[in-house]
Amino acid sequence: MKGFANLYMELDQTTKTNEKITLMAKYFSRTREEDSIWAIALLTGRRPKRPIRTSDLKLWATELAAIPYWLFEESYDVVGDLAETISLLIPLQKSDQDKPLNKVMIEILEIASQPEEVKKKWLLNYWSQFLRDELFVFNKLITGSFRVGVSQQLVFKAIAKAYNLDDKAVAHKLMGNWLPQTTKLQNLLSATSSSFDDSKPYPFYLAYQLDIQFSEMDKLEDWQFERKYDGIRGQIVVRNKQVHVWSRGEELMTDKFIEFAALGNILPHGTVIDGEILPFKNGSILSFNEMQKRIGKKNVTQKVLTDVPLCMMCYDLLEYQGDDIRQKPMHERRALLETIVKTANTELLHLSTLLMPKSWDELDFLRNESKKLGCEGLMIKHKNSIYETGRRRGKWWKWKVDPYTVDAVLIYAQSGHGRRANLYTDYTFAIWDNENLVPFTKAYSGLTDKELIEVDSWIKKNTIEKFGPVRSVRAELVFEIAFEGINLSPRHKSGIALRFPRILRWRKDKNKEEINTKKDLLQLLNSV
């Protein structure tokens, strides 16, 4: 546990990717395999569920710290992170024992089902034997909030470096359904694709936003153009009549997207399709909102299946007749994909249409139709591109349409968490509804650190009222908010819900009289 806590702290203290890789590789090569497999699981986001209720954690920490509960809450408000708050509040012991990471993790998994008194005893025992860094990392694990500032790709590179493997092969081997408590690192890393578990997906290839000129690109005819649909990027894996549906976040969505189960009897063994999962009814795509509602539901009822049926808009083929074909050029994979989808001949699978613009100007024209068609923009893929892993520049580009924008005034602020703890960074904005300012959206990201600090300091000086962690402020600062979509929503005070709202820029040149109105937004809604 010490070694892992140490790794966490070291990773936390550098922003340089090469250093991060070196640190992880060093850890792996020094650590026993049964601990390394846990480290890999944790670093790639396979964190255990919170085994103990947050309210119990707070209560027991307060007892141990011998402070009143309100003071715990005040401290938490300032620190902004429960695990850190607890590790700062409870008195440190000088004891200096170490316990292997895999033992600690197994105990965390097992304690979840124990009665409360057992949990408490177990926890207090742990809290009194760690030094501060271990305590913090341990608390991160039991609060279910363990996150590290490393991308999966960096972890793969570090593993490749430590075990002398190819990082893309590592990426594939570590995808999908494995549990650190039942997997041996040796088996995981040495597996050949034929011995893979049937559910295993491939690492997604992600495109960068187009940021170069067309003149710097190859000829128009070297590229493949498609619409970028607004659904959930996913992979459908069919092996031995079993269907597994994976989201880009590497979540297994098979149980939520049950209609795809039928593909087990339609697609041949050893087929993996990459595409966008969309709500699709009577020949047209439904709004993303419908999809979100469906995902939010606990049970997939017959009504849901009839109201919001799904399909996959197929982009790419990664496995064909059981062979990994990611190294074949795009145009060959596309040809095979067309055969597969046409042969399957099912409403569940649609081929993404290839666009055939005669010029880059025409492509831009096609892009501008996106919103009308419910798309986010275009995808531009080189016809010779192999299917890479992770986000890479050069061969695949996304070219999104410009977002909608609205000018709004800041009226509430709340302090952030983690990196933004103790800084007012979560904002609520209002627009005019006749003579009244009506709150209509929250937005977080988009300001530079410098601006954040400036706004934070303004908020502290212009607070009207405090309600717990929230402050209402004088309506004065105007921001331009960008968003991707708009819907009616009875749950919101304004009756409107925005999709992906974020701060585009601080409009220091505008005052609150000049911001948009609710009428403007309703007009926009009706025009979409």
Partner 1 sequence: MLIQFTNRGIFCPRANIYIDPWKPVDKAIITHAHSDHARWGSKHYLSHKDSEFILRYRLGTISLETLSYNQPIQINGVKISLHPAGHITGSAQVRLEHNGEIWVVSGDYKVKPDGYSVPFEPVRCQHFITESTFGLPVYNFPEVNELNIQLNQWTKENATQGFNSVLIGYALGKAQRILSALTTDQPILLHSTIYNTNNALGFDNSPYIKFTQEFKKEQLNPGIVVATGSVIGNPWLKRFDPYRLAFCSGWMQLRGARRRRNADKGFIMSDHADWQGLNEAVLATGAENVYVTHGYKTVYAKWLRENYKLNAYEVETLFEGESIETESSETIGEQTETGQQS
Which tokens sit at 339? 């055969």
Q: Which is nearer to partner 1, 51 or 80 (CB)?
A: 80
> What is the nearest approach in angstroms of partner 1 to the Cβ of residue 200?
35
> What is the nearest approach in angstroms of partner 1 to the Cβ of residue 457?
6
d(CA 23, CA 158): 8
Neighbours of 3 (CB within 10 A): 17
Nearest C-alpha neighbor of 28 from the set 165, 132, 145: 165
Q: Which is nearer to partner 1, 12 or 324 (CB)?
A: 12
What are 319's strand-pairing partners?
A: 272, 324
Q: Which is nearer to partner 1, 211 or 465 (CB)?
A: 465
Q: Which is nearer to partner 1, 121 or 460 (CB)?
A: 460
Contact positions with partner 1 (CB under 8 A) in 134-153: 136
Q: Which is nearer to partner 1, 79 or 142 (CB)?
A: 79
Q: Which of 351, 421, 438, 470 binds partner 1 (CB under 8 A)?
A: 421
- Sequence-ordered list of residues with C-beta below 8 angstroms from that of 424, at least 6 positions apart, any chain: 413, 414, 415, 416, 455, 456, 459, 460, 471
Q: Which of 47, 48, 81, 334 binds partner 1 (CB under 8 A)?
A: 81
Q: Is 446 in the site for partner 1 (CB under 8 A)?
A: no
Q: Is 450 in the site for partner 1 (CB under 8 A)?
A: yes
Cα 50 from chain centroid (whole Å): 19
Binding mask 274-293 for partner 1 (x = CB under 8 A): --------------------
d(CA 500, CA 488): 15
Q: Which of 460, 493, 508, 519 binds partner 1 (CB under 8 A)?
A: 460
CA distances from 505 to 276, 401, 412, 459 (A): 31, 18, 17, 17
Nearest C-alpha neighbor of 174 from the set 194, 205, 213, 202: 202
What are 208's strand-pairing partners?
A: 397
Are 60 and 120 in contact by the 8 Å Cβ rule? The answer is yes
Contact positions with partner 1 (CB under 8 A) in 169-208: none
Are 350 and 313 in contact by the 8 Å Cβ rule? The answer is yes
Q: Which is nearer to partner 1, 445 or 523 (CB)?
A: 445
Q: Which of 84, 230, 316, 319 binds partner 1 (CB under 8 A)?
A: 84
d(CA 237, CA 264): 9
Nearest C-alpha neighbor of 133 from the set 16, 250, 296, 7: 7
> What is the nearest approach in angstroms of partner 1 to the Cβ of residue 150?
14
Q: Is 68 in the site for partner 1 (CB under 8 A)?
A: yes
Q: Which is nearer to partner 1, 136 or 178 (CB)?
A: 136
CA-angle at 175, arms to 391 and 156, nearest 5° = 60
Q: Is 131 in the site for partner 1 (CB under 8 A)?
A: no
> What is the nearest approach in angstroms of partner 1 to the Cβ of residue 451?
12
Q: Which of 29, 71, 343, 364 binds partner 1 (CB under 8 A)?
A: 71
What are 281's strand-pairing partners?
A: 284
d(CA 167, CA 243): 27
Q: Is 322 in the site for partner 1 (CB under 8 A)?
A: no
Q: Which of 56, 418, 445, 523 binds partner 1 (CB under 8 A)?
A: 418
Contact range with partner 1 by CB under 8 A, out of 63-71, 122-130, 475-483, 508-516: 63-71
Q: Is 165 in the site for partner 1 (CB under 8 A)?
A: no
- Sequence-ordered list of residues with C-beta below 8 angstroms from that of 414, at least 6 positions apart, any chain: 424, 426, 427, 428, 469, 470, 471
Q: Is 96 in the site for partner 1 (CB under 8 A)?
A: no
Q: Which is nearer to partner 1, 183 or 463 (CB)?
A: 463
Active-site residue, selected from the candidate residues 228, 328, 381, 518: 228
CA-angle at 219, arms to 218 and 224, nearest 5° = 90
Q: Is 456 in the site for partner 1 (CB under 8 A)?
A: yes
> Which secondary-structure segment (H or E) carries 411?
strand 404-415
Q: Which is nearer to partner 1, 307 or 454 (CB)?
A: 454
Neighbours of 465 (CB within 10 A): 9
Q: Which amino acid is at 366?
A: L
Which tokens sit at 112? 């979840």
Around 110, how many Cα atoms within 13 Å sit in the side-chain half-sphere?
9
Q: Is 368 in the site for partner 1 (CB under 8 A)?
A: no
- Whether 450 is a known active-site residue: answer no
d(CA 375, CA 226): 10
Around 182, how many Cα atoms within 13 Å sit in the side-chain half-sphere?
4
Contact positions with partner 1 (CB under 8 A) in 25-44: none
The residue count for binding partner 1 (CB under 8 A) is: 33
Q: Which is nearer to partner 1, 81 or 274 (CB)?
A: 81
Q: Is 419 in the site for partner 1 (CB under 8 A)?
A: yes
Q: Is 449 in the site for partner 1 (CB under 8 A)?
A: yes
Contact range with partner 1 by CB under 8 A, out of 10-18, 119-127, 240-248, 399-407: 10-18
d(CA 336, CA 231): 24
> What is the nearest approach in angstroms of partner 1 to the Cβ of residue 79?
6
> What is the nearest approach in angstroms of partner 1 to the Cβ of residue 92?
9
Q: Is 59 in the site for partner 1 (CB under 8 A)?
A: no
Q: Is 473 in the site for partner 1 (CB under 8 A)?
A: no
For residues 91-114, one letter each, b for 16 or more C-beta atoms within 10 angstroms of the residue's C-beta and e for the rest, the string is: eeeeeeeeebbbebbbebeebeee
Q: Which residues bind partner 1 (CB under 8 A)?
A: 12-15, 65, 67-68, 70-71, 74-75, 78-81, 84-85, 88-89, 136, 417-423, 449-450, 453, 456-457, 460
Residues labelled catalytic = 228
